[in-house]
Chain A
Amino acid sequence: GAGVSQTPSNKVTEKGKYVELRCDPISEHNRLYWYRQTLGQGPEFLIYFQGTGAADDSGLPNDRFFAVRPEGSVSTLKIQRTERGDSAVYLCASSQNKGGSGANVLTFGAGSRLTVL
Chain B
Amino acid sequence: AQRVTQPEKLLSVFKGAPVELKCNYSYSGSPELFWYVQYSRQRLQLLLRHISRESIKGFTADLNKGETSFHLKKPFAQEEDSAMYYCALGGYNTDKLIFGTGTRLQVFP
- Which A residues are closer than 8 A to B by beta carbons? 31, 33, 35, 40-45, 48, 50, 55-56, 58-59, 91, 93, 101-111
Q: Which residues of chain B come closer than 8 Å to A35, judged between CB atoms?
A: 99
Asked if A42 contacts B49 (CB within 8 A), the reply is no
Q: How large is the interface on B (under 10, 10 to 19, 20 to 34, 35 or more residues)?
A: 20 to 34
Asked if A108 contacts B44 (CB within 8 A), the reply is yes
Known contacts A42-B101, A102-B32; A109 and B43 CB within 8 A of each other? yes
Q: Which residues of chain A come closer than 8 Å to B45, judged between CB atoms?
A: 107-108
Asked if B95 contacts A56 (CB within 8 A), the reply is yes
Q: CA separation between A55 and B96, bound complex, in Å? A: 10
Asked if A42 contacts B43 (CB within 8 A), the reply is no
Known contacts A103-B90, A103-B94; A110 and B43 CB within 8 A of each other? yes
Asked if B96 contacts A56 (CB within 8 A), the reply is yes
Q: Which residues of chain B come closer than 8 Å to A110, judged between CB atoms?
A: 43
Q: Which residues of chain B come closer than 8 Å to A43, judged between CB atoms?
A: 44, 86, 99
